[in-house]
A and B are shown apart, each in its own frame.
Chain A
């Protein structure tokens, strides 16, 4: 990574750490949601296994998604508040500005994921995963964070104002709820069920679930990886094209 990217990354990371709302949304909120579903409502769901074991993979995804709102807002603020012109005149590369945001988002994701995993263990999470499986879990979640990060940066660049940028990421926050994160897709009503089965988060969650159970399935893993790579490419292309047009 270039030194400019490092400088921008440090700046963006300071932003996250200094903004209590973004820390709360990115790190605490997923834990709160997890406590709510597992501790309060968990006994009401009948999924065949201990609910914390069922829910943890989905919560990892949630942890990635909840951090995205503030990334979109931060990207948009940069574009609308004049500082981008300063960077451009200083010949800071487009790559440095954008990767700074993506990597900061990814690092925030990793902190949130660590918090979720810690909370899961406190709630009685008993995974059967070996070291390789764990590496697979972290790798896939990081890849998703990277992909969703680029998509969110694109949304942030595309939005007219920081407020609408924050709003634009809401679908990404809602999407996990319409997947097999909370309950299996086949328990959902018609329409929603088909949506849940075919939306990108379901194969990702199922892959994570398989890895954590120690029984990964290659089929879903390939679909999951394909989605992540696809989202990353679309996000990257959209982000760079929008950046060129706006700045």
Chain B
């Protein structure tokens, strides 16, 4: 799909030689913190920005020389809901139908179907300015679907959404995949990429630091672990001696115990402490998040990159 993609603004390099390959009918997720270059990548792939170097082919067409053919095949739902605030939901969809030569004719039916499918029929006649964030995103995606794109770009489709709207969005994305649509998704959330994507690429400061399936990536990062915090250094010492495979942090007085997070291993751990009549001040289970991925893959956390 893309090779050697480069983009720089003045002297600031935003994308530094990116190679991507997304097979048709799959979900590809670009994972990275703010400022990693995700949106810039999407903008180049969707013909909105010209790359400074490298070649990009989308749906078999070169984005630089065959922009029209690329545009005909793709749909884009940007990071900021590209909806018309002053129009109603229905009018927004109608606008898309009217601007889409292919959708003419059955316009009314297409609009009604999409409103139904995205659960927006009730608010169809209300201006979008009254919609919630989740409703806007849904409308945005519905508008993208009017042209029946074969490839859909979703730039952080769930950032800022509440958990319920997020799940609805995921369900819709899965339905699209089932219909054979290729999805290019950017996200800041590891679990989102994990849930939806066949392949994940991790972007950091304009460079690709890892690419593979979600499972492959997870193998490269520290897994689930339990964290125990003690009140005194002596207690920590004692605990570290009795629990095998643990790593200690003397400053925070915590002990890190790798495990699968299941109840069996948990009981074994607690029993072990009990056996020696010890108790921890605090107990928590940690699952890897984006920060862990970044720490493992780049040696620094997302805080550093997100300037």
Q: Which of B234-293 contact A (CB under 8 A)?
A: none
Tell me if B95 counts as interface (CB < 8 A to partner A): yes
Q: Which residue of B lies closest to A96 (CB)?
A: B99
Q: A88 near B48 (CB under 8 angstroms)?
A: yes
Which stretch, A7-15, A107-115, A133-141, A170-178, touches the partner chain B?
A: A7-15
How many Å lie between the Cα of A83 and that of B136 in the bound state? Answer: 13
How many Å lie between the Cα of A86 and that of B139 in the bound state? Answer: 13
Q: Which residue of A lies closest to B67 (CB)?
A: A91
Q: A14 near B99 (CB under 8 angstroms)?
A: no
Q: A11 near B95 (CB under 8 angstroms)?
A: yes
Q: A11-B95, A81-B85 are in contact. List 7 more A-B contacts (CB 8 A).
A: A3-B98, A15-B86, A81-B80, A83-B83, A85-B76, A89-B76, A92-B99
Q: A18 near B86 (CB under 8 angstroms)?
A: yes
List chain B residues, Cβ under 8 A from A88.
47-48
List chain B residues, Cβ under 8 A from A83.
82-84
List chain B residues, Cβ under 8 A from A87.
99
Q: A89 near B99 (CB under 8 angstroms)?
A: no
Q: A14 near B86 (CB under 8 angstroms)?
A: yes
Supposing A7-B95, A11-B87, A90-B99 touch, asked if A18 and B80 sit within 8 A by C-beta, the answer is no
Counting from the closest, the 10 A-B pairs by CB-CB distance are A82-B82, A86-B82, A82-B80, A7-B98, A83-B82, A89-B76, A15-B86, A91-B71, A82-B78, A18-B86
How many Å lie between the Cα of A189 and that of B132 in the bound state? Answer: 56
Q: Which of A3, A15, A19, A82 has the most B CB atoms < 10 Å from its CB?
A: A82
List chain B residues, Cβ under 8 A from A7.
95, 98-99
Q: Which residue of A lies closest to B43 (CB)?
A: A85
Q: Which of A67-93 contact B (CB under 8 A)?
A: 81-83, 85-92
List chain B residues, Cβ under 8 A from A86.
76, 78, 82, 143-144
Tell me if B159 counts as interface (CB < 8 A to partner A): no
A70 CB to closest chain B CB (Å) equals: 11
Q: A18 near B127 (CB under 8 angstroms)?
A: yes
Residues of A participating in the B interface, judged by any CB pair closer than 8 Å: 3-4, 7, 11, 14-15, 18-19, 81-83, 85-92
- Residue-wise, chain B 86-117 has the 8 Å CB interface mask toward A (1 for contact) of 11000100011011100000000000000000
Q: B48 near A85 (CB under 8 angstroms)?
A: yes
Tell me if B68 counts as interface (CB < 8 A to partner A): yes
Interface size counted on chain B using CB atoms at 8 A = 30
List chain A residues, Cβ under 8 A from B48.
85, 88-89
B152 CB to closest chain A CB (Å) equals: 11
Tell me if B147 counts as interface (CB < 8 A to partner A): yes
Tell me if B177 counts as interface (CB < 8 A to partner A): no
Q: Which residue of A lies closest to B129 (CB)?
A: A18
List chain B residues, Cβ under 8 A from A90.
71, 96, 99-100, 147
Supposing A4-B99, A7-B98, A91-B72 touch, asked if A85 and B82 sit within 8 A by C-beta, the answer is yes
List chain A residues, Cβ under 8 A from B100.
90
Residues of B participating in the A interface, judged by any CB pair closer than 8 Å: 43, 46-48, 68, 71-72, 74-76, 78-87, 91, 95-96, 98-100, 127, 143-144, 147
A105 CB to closest chain B CB (Å) equals: 16
How many Å lie between the Cα of A90 and that of B82 in the bound state? Answer: 12
A96 CB to closest chain B CB (Å) equals: 9
Q: Which residue of B lies closest to A14 (CB)?
A: B87
Supposing A7-B98, A14-B91, A85-B76 touch, asked if A91 and B82 sit within 8 A by C-beta, the answer is no
How many Å lie between the Cα of A82 and that of B47 in the bound state? Answer: 15
B180 CB to closest chain A CB (Å) equals: 20
How many Å lie between the Cα of A15 and that of B76 in the bound state? Answer: 24
List chain A residues, Cβ under 8 A from B74.
89
How many Å lie between the Cα of A11 and that of B72 in the bound state? Answer: 22
List chain A residues, Cβ under 8 A from B47.
88-89
Q: A82 near B81 (CB under 8 angstroms)?
A: yes
A228 CB to closest chain B CB (Å) equals: 30
B10 CB to closest chain A CB (Å) equals: 15
Q: Which residue of B lies closest to A6 (CB)?
A: B98
List chain B residues, Cβ under 8 A from A18.
86, 127
List chain A residues, Cβ under 8 A from B144.
86
A82 CB to closest chain B CB (Å) equals: 4
20 contacts between A and B (CB under 8 A): A3-B98, A4-B99, A7-B95, A81-B82, A83-B82, A83-B84, A85-B43, A85-B48, A85-B76, A85-B82, A86-B78, A86-B143, A86-B144, A87-B99, A88-B47, A88-B48, A89-B71, A89-B74, A90-B71, A91-B68
B124 CB to closest chain A CB (Å) equals: 16
List chain A residues, Cβ under 8 A from B91.
14
B228 CB to closest chain A CB (Å) equals: 47
List chain A residues, Cβ under 8 A from B87.
11, 14-15
How many Å lie between the Cα of A7 and that of B100 in the bound state? Answer: 11
A52 CB to closest chain B CB (Å) equals: 37
